[in-house]
Structure 1
Amino acid sequence: MTSPASPYLGPDEISRTVRRLAHEIVENNRGTDGLVLVGLLSRGYTLARRLAEAIREFENVAVPVGALDIGLYRDDVTRRPAPPPVRPSEIPVPIDGKTVVLVDDVLFTGRSIRAALDALLDYGRPARVRLAVLIDRGHRELPIRPDFVGKNIPTALIQKVQVRLHEVDGLDGVFVFGEEASHA
């Protein structure tokens, strides 16, 4: 997939959005005690690391960051021609009794988050699970709502939203493919 000439969100907007989300997460948690960030592989994990770095900058506290692979928990795993590649999940601290913030790049139908909840519970029983997403594009198929949203982007079902992050893709940008998206 090639990139449109200009991103819906560029590097500066993504950076500001991540800092704002980090502040909202700390405020909602009333500090950093018991807070664990767990990002869905791969861009959710990258965003979780960025959130942790932002929190470290303004709170001077290192919040644990984990990576979660949801491939085998997806409800469409048996419908795929080949099984998904298994990537290692790594949760660096016990999550029992903690506030876990699941982090993902784009929230669409909610099915990935349902799979993430199933996968996360294999690691323990958190006191609370919150959801932070960089982009909420709507079109939910399951009753899942994010607690922290970077940007709501209204989309048509035929459109594709792609988040690209420097650590994974060599550039930062949010791109909308398909019919022209309005910058609301």
Structure 2
Amino acid sequence: MGAQAVERLIAAMAENLKVHLAERGIEDAAMVGIHTGGVWVAERLHRRLGLADALGSLDISFYRDDFTRIGMHPDVRPSNLPFEIEGRHIVLVDDVLYTGRTIRAALNELFDYGRPASVTLAVLVNRNGRELPVEADVSGMQLDLMPHEHIKLTDADDLTLVIQRAP
């Protein structure tokens, strides 16, 4: 999926997110993207929504439960939460919701900073294969893939989605 199609998905997500937040009576949401693809999507959503607080980011590397399977990511970045988490309505953004383990790790880290009033999950791609009971509140698209297929968001400037197949 090319850059223009991805931008259309993000535009639709922004509109759906506005509606979702309004229905819940949330006017002062703060946004947090998960490194790396989640931050790329969050940057665009944050700009479209015109949120008052600066965009936050999480690197959940140390919160993952599958180090032995995937290994440590060599490029660990610090998380940046330029606002209080305690009592805030948080919009957590990721690029792909697959097993649910990344979101579980992100929630664990967020709660280490405080107890949010609520967390809304927004993902660009909601794909099949969940291992944990995690569901997105807003998603750009639903995608059903085979177990040997993965979808990857590439290039921070011109976002594209690419399906990769394991040999």
Question: How does the TM-score come out when normalised to structure 1?
Answer: 0.81
Structure 1 counterpart of 2:39, from 37, 45, 49: 45
Structure 2 counterpart of 1:172, from 144, 159, 167: 159
Alignment of 1:17 with 2:13, yes or no, is: no
Alignment of 1:92 with 2:79, yes or no, is: no
Task: Say if 1:84 and 1:121 are closer, same or farther in 2 by CA, change over 3 A.
Answer: farther
Q: Distance in 1 between matches of 2:80 and 2:48?
A: 21
1:79 CA drift (Å): 5.3
Q: Distance in 2 between matches of 1:136 and 1:127?
A: 24
For each residue in 1:28-84, what CA deviation from the matched residue of structure 2 results, as whole angstroms up to 9, or x when unmatched? 11176220110001110111111011112xxxx534310001000000135555575
Structure 2 residues not aligned, in runs of 5+: none
Q: What secondary structure is seen at the aligned counterpart in 2 of 1:134?
A: strand
Alignment of 1:155 with 2:137, yes or no, is: no
Cα contact 2:26–2:89 (8 A) shared by 1: no
Structure 1 residues not aligned, in runs of 5+: 1-8, 180-184
Percent identity of equivalent pairs = 38
Q: CA RMSD in A?
A: 2.0
Q: What secondary structure is seen at the aligned counterpart in 2 of 1:100?
A: strand
Alignment length (residue pairs): 164
Alignment of 1:110 with 2:96, yes or no, is: no
Where does residue 29 of structure 2 map in the other structure?
Answer: 35
- Which residues in structure 2 correspond to 1:129-148 (within 5 Å)? 129-148=119-138
Where does residue 49 of structure 2 map in the other structure?
Answer: 55
